[in-house]
Amino acid sequence: MRIAIDVDGVLRDTYEKIEQIYQKFFIDELELVDEDFKFEIKKPYDTNDYKNHFMFKNEEEYYGFIYDEFAMQIFGHSPSTELSTFQDLNGIYKNLKDDFKFVLISNQVGKTKPSTLFFISKFGCEIDRIIFYNKLNENEIWNEFDVLLTANPDLLNQNHNKTLIKFETTYNSNINSLDSIKSIKELEEKLKKLLN
């Protein structure tokens, strides 16, 4: 059986890092004052679209911030969702690698791809395979797994006759899921049940 684990929201807390950088460079240190626009952070993080929570003057400024200028700081240096995320994940991988083929998936483009690889290596992830996807090739990733662990509402709302496990976050609380976990520690028991 093949399981895919989504990096964002499950393994990486990207929102925390974006907030830290945005606060520093656009709120605390910004010397340019614009009477018509206010840089602000909108909480709670109840959607998985960064544009809904971090205000920019235009799309160009937003994309420059997230995907170019601060790509490594955001996607490479974000914290893990829990202190023991990767220790727990590596343990699950070792215990179940004879029964499951593990793959990481991540919705990334351009500079965020090498930044994500840095993030994974920094935390010592032992899973061999990662697949990057985006809006253009999203449908192709569904052929790569039987079970998906994700926090992404867009993926949780699709039905490709796959087993979906929701990783609970503030931005997917309105999605009803048959299976959900709050911590990566709970994954091993969920997967063992699938084998029976």
Partnered with residue 102 across adjacent β-strands are 3
Average pLDDT on 89-101 reads: 97
Domains of the chain: 2-13+79-195 (3.40.50.1000), 14-77 (no CATH)
Q: Who wins on pLDDT, 30 or 144? A: 144
The mean-pLDDT minimum among 26-35, 50-59, 86-95, 149-158 falls in 26-35
pTM confidence score? 0.92
pLDDT in tens, 112-159: 999 999 999 999 999 999 999 988 888 888 999 999 999 999 999 987
Checking if the pLDDT of 105 tops 90, the result is yes
Rounded to whole angstroms, the Cα distance separating 192 from 165 reads 13
Torsion of CA 68, 110, 162, 119, to 10 degrees: -70
Checking if the pLDDT of 32 tops 70, the result is no
CA dihedral sign, ordered 81, 108, 91, 192? positive
Rounded to whole angstroms, the Cα distance separating 184 from 161 reads 23
Tokens 């793959």 — which residue?
Answer: 103
Could you count the other beta carbons within 10 Å of the beta carbon of residue 145? 22
Rounded to whole angstroms, the Cα distance separating 22 from 24 reads 5
Residue % of the chain over a pLDDT of 90: 80
**Phi and psi based region of residue 53 (left: phi greater than 0; alpha: psi -120 to 50; beta: remaining):** alpha
Check residue 177 and give its pLDDT: 73
List strand residue ranges (DSSP E) for the chain, in order.
Answer: 2-6, 101-107, 130-133, 147-150, 163-167, 179-181
Q: Who wins on pLDDT, 39 or 4? A: 4
* Residue 111 DSSP class: T
Partnered with residue 8 across adjacent β-strands are 12
Amino acid identity, residue 144?
A: E
The two tokens of residue 171 are: 């931005």
Amino acid identity, residue 71?
A: A
